[in-house]
Amino acid sequence: MSSGRPRLSFRVLTDTLAAIRLALGRRDTRAVATVVAVAYLIAYLWATGDLSYRPDVTARLLVVDDPVGRLFARVGPASFGAVATLDTSVFRLLVSPINLVIGAVLAGLVGINLALSYLAVRRPSACGIGTGSGILASIPALLSGTVCCGPVVLLAVGVQASAALLTAFTWLLPVGVLLLLASLGYIAAKIDTGPLPEPHTTAAE
Amino acid sequence: MVPTDRRTLLAALGSGAVALAGCLAGRASPGPFGGDDEETAESGSRGPKPPTVDRSLPAAYEIDELLETSRSGGPSPDGIPAVENPRFTPATDSPDALDDDDPVFGVEIDGEAKAYPQSILVWHEIVNDVVGGRPVSVTYCPLTGTAQGFHRGETTFGVSGQLINSNLVMFDRGTESWWPQILATAISGEDAGSHLEEFQLIWTTWARWRSTHPDTVVLSEETGFARNYGRDPYGGYNPPQGYYENDSFLFGPLTEDDRLHPKAVVIGMRSEHGAVAVGKDRLREERLLAFELGGVDHLAAYDDALDTGYVYRIDDSDAPPASWEGGRVAIDGVDYEPADLPYERAIAFDAMWFAWYGYYPMTDLYE
């Protein structure tokens, strides 16, 4: 921009990065982001069927015949092939690197969103947003955990599949990512990303 | 400038989502593999065709009607991967998760017996194998509760990802023609209307199959794929639960009938004489059930060793009556195993009632 005024998109990006730095720079928000992200990743893997409780099988690691070929094989709208089965005698993890990356990205976005929401609750003076904005924005991403077990979800709610429903399942992941990014950008634009005291000092204020 | 930039940003995010969704949506399905492959499918074989047989089967729908009702079940072609290099273990070294009362699909060809656990096939639906020296495909559709065997010749079958009447639509890799499993009939490609050569699969339990076929081998969980074997995404058979016992559908049937519970198991048989369904519970009670189909006498016989039923065609209208004698069938003073009556045994298989009726609304029913 010749005017010297940064483009809005660039400003949103820098604000978002600043908000992420803020969320990860404080001990309390970092803890919230980490706990939420880990919990979400576990829930995501559970919902997609990659992680399950299997005390009935013996511990072993079984690698598929063609791991590279299976890596990018699609097994659902947003679900990719597993290259190994890891049994621990308690849990079974189907090791799908792409699913893990998708889950980790979603988990990271949800974690940072909720960390900033937490900040909004704990430090409302720093934010011009409603308390639940980040949480509400995270719901689509939570739903996106159903992307590769759509028919099972339909079974659970007892409805017949239609083309529209199946299409909706296809859109869950991208819409979830989009809304999480939009939510993050929105919060980042509102939040004061200046230095804030660590939580142990807030009581004295 | 600012509104324009905001729109630009939103548009960029939106188009990113559209692109991602497009990537995730899989291929559409006017032909076997969508528009790009339509010409190939129409032009016919790129590889060997599966063997077909000259037979007549009842058909309630035109091929075009069937194609119109096909719908994506979610996965793309081969998204549910067939097992191409099955490995087997002796009955004494069966998979961890295979319990005695879990369902298996048993086959015996030329003295070679094999068992295919439902818990593995629910993840693959097709196993391309060789049994008794013959190349075969063992197929299973979870949504219709049907396990059927087909001779495949030099080709193999895969899972198209399409469903008709909730039923698995297979494709052969030689011509990429579609073959709905229950119909065993091509509905696309240059051989549309031709019928696959079938063989009898037995839906039974692991303990029953093992006790009647001690030398059997059983499909290993080392399929070449990583799946959560032992966990059924639709419910379970041991005990019956989830989709297999409730009255809901994932995909609506072609047509409905309420004389039986939609998921009630019937033993279905179709031939040039028509289609018939015998309630499995009724056959368990009566053991033998004589009926007429298309003017020809038939006899259904229960096999309590395997908890299955067979259907025989009795061409001789003066054939002596059969009676149940402690697990064997007495005919004219001679005892026979239920699987070996002196009549022509037709291919018959277990099916959920809604699926059988959906394809064969003209069927006779012995409920």
DSSP track, B128-145? EEEETTEEEEEEEETTTT
Q: What is the pLDDT of residue A74?
A: 77
pLDDT averaged over every residue in chain A = 75
Q: Which of these ranges, A36-40, A150-154, B94-98, has the smallest mean pLDDT?
A: A150-154
Final residue in a domain of this structure, among B237, B255, B282: B237
Tell me if B253 is assigned to some domain: no
Q: What is the dihedral of CA A133, A138, A139, A144, to 10 degrees?
A: 160
B98 CB contacts (<8 Å, ≥6 apart)?
A: B104, B117, B119, B206, B218, B230
Separation between Cα atoms, residue A104 and residue A85, nearest integer Å? 19
In DSSP terms, B266 is beta-bridged to B279, B351
Give the pair of three-digit tokens for residue B56: 């007549």
Higher pLDDT, B323 or A185: B323
Chain B hits for A169, CB-CB cut-off 8 Å, are 74
Tell me if A88 is assigned to some domain: no
A138 and A170 Cβ atoms separated by less than 8 Å:
no
- Look at residues B250, B296, B302, B298 and name the one whose alpha carbon lies nearest to residue B279: B302
Q: What is the pLDDT of residue B197?
A: 97
Conformation bin of residue B38: beta by default, left when phi > 0, alpha when psi is -120 to 50:
alpha
Tell me if A166 is assigned to some domain: yes
Residue B206: exposed, middle, or buried by beta-carbon count in 10 A (0-12, 13-18, 19+)? Answer: buried
Tell me if B23 is assigned to some domain: no
| Whether B251 and A181 lie within 8 Å, measured CB to CB | no
Question: Is residue B270 located within the same domain as residue B220?
Answer: no
**Amino acid identity at A26:** R
Instruction: Say how many residues make up chain B.
Output: 367
Question: Is residue B291 located within the same domain as residue B229?
Answer: no
B75 touches chain A (CB under 8 A): yes
Question: Is residue B231 located within the same domain as residue B302?
Answer: no
| Whether B230 and A9 lie within 8 Å, measured CB to CB | no
A87: phi then psi, degrees, rounded to nearest 5: -105, 135
| Whether A167 and B81 lie within 8 Å, measured CB to CB | no
Confidence of residue A119 (pLDDT cuts 50, 70, 90): confident
Instruction: Give the residue on A whose Cα is nearest the Cα of B80.
Output: A75
Structural domain count of chain B: 2
Report DSSP state, residue B82: P
Give the pair of three-digit tokens for residue B27: 């291929």
| Whether A70 and B225 lie within 8 Å, measured CB to CB | yes
B5, B80, B222: residue with CB nearest A62:
B222
Alpha-carbon Rg for chain A in angstroms: 20
Which residue in this structure is represented by tokens 């409302």?
A: A124
**Domain housing B312:** 265-366
Which whole number is the average pLDDT over A178-199?
71
Q: Which of these ranges, A7-16, A86-95, A125-134, has the smallest mean pLDDT?
A: A125-134
Higher pLDDT, B30 or A123: A123
Instruction: Give the residue on A whose Cα is nearest the Cα of B243.
Output: A155
In DSSP terms, B168 is beta-bridged to B163
pLDDT tens-digit profile of A92-107? 999 999 999 988 988 8
Question: Is residue B116 located within the same domain as residue B183?
Answer: yes
Give the pair of three-digit tokens for residue A188: 């980042």
Tell me if A168 is assigned to some domain: yes
A57, A155, A182: residue with CB nearest B13:
A182
ipTM for this prediction: 0.71
Q: What is the pLDDT of residue A26?
A: 86
Burial string for A111-123 (b: 16+ CB within 10 Å, else e) reads bbbbbbbbbbebb
Q: What is the pLDDT of residue A46?
A: 87
Structural domain count of chain A: 1
Interface list for B 242-261 with A (CB within 8 A):
242-243, 246, 248-252
Tell me if B13 is assigned to some domain: no
Separation between Cα atoms, residue B102 and residue A109, nearest integer Å? 42
Report DSSP state, residue B185: B
Q: DSSP per residue over B287-356, as a string?
A: SEEEEEETTEEEEEEEETTTTEEEEEEE--TTPPPEEEETTEEEETTEEE-GGG-SSEEEPEEEEEHHHH
Q: Which of these ranges, A58-67, A122-131, B6-15, has the smallest mean pLDDT?
A: B6-15
Q: Sort strands B274-279 and B364-366 into parallel, antiparallel or unpaired.
A: parallel
Give the pair of three-digit tokens for residue B31: 């032909």
Tell me if A170 is assigned to some domain: yes
B280 CB contacts (<8 Å, ≥6 apart)?
A: B264, B265, B266, B267, B309, B350
DSSP H helices in chain B:
2-24, 35-43, 63-69, 118-124, 206-212, 280-286, 353-359
Give the pair of three-digit tokens for residue A204: 């004295």
Chain A hits for B224, CB-CB cut-off 8 Å, are 64-66
Tell me if A70 is assigned to some domain: no
Q: Sort strands B167-172 and B157-164 into parallel, antiparallel or unpaired.
A: antiparallel
**Domain housing A27:** 8-49+96-199
Question: Is residue B174 located within the same domain as residue B51?
Answer: yes
| Whether A65 and B224 lie within 8 Å, measured CB to CB | yes
Q: What is the pLDDT of residue A197?
A: 56
Chain A hits for B97, CB-CB cut-off 8 Å, are 56-57
Peptide bond into B321 cis (omega under 30): no
The Cα of A174 is separated from the nearest Cα of chain B by a number of Å equal to 5
Residue ranges of chain B with per-residue pLDDT less than 70: 1-45
Tell me if A57 is assigned to some domain: no
H or E stretch covering A108: helix A97-122
H or E stretch covering A22: helix A8-25
Which residue in this structure is represented by tokens 């990303």?
A: A193
Tell me if A76 is assigned to some domain: no
H or E stretch covering B103: strand B103-109
Tell me if A60 is assigned to some domain: no
Q: What is the pLDDT of residue A167?
A: 67
Q: What is the pLDDT of residue B32?
A: 41
Question: Is residue B232 located within the same domain as residue B285?
Answer: no
Question: Is residue B213 located within the same domain as residue B92?
Answer: yes
Q: What is the pLDDT of residue A130?
A: 54
Tell me if B26 is assigned to some domain: no
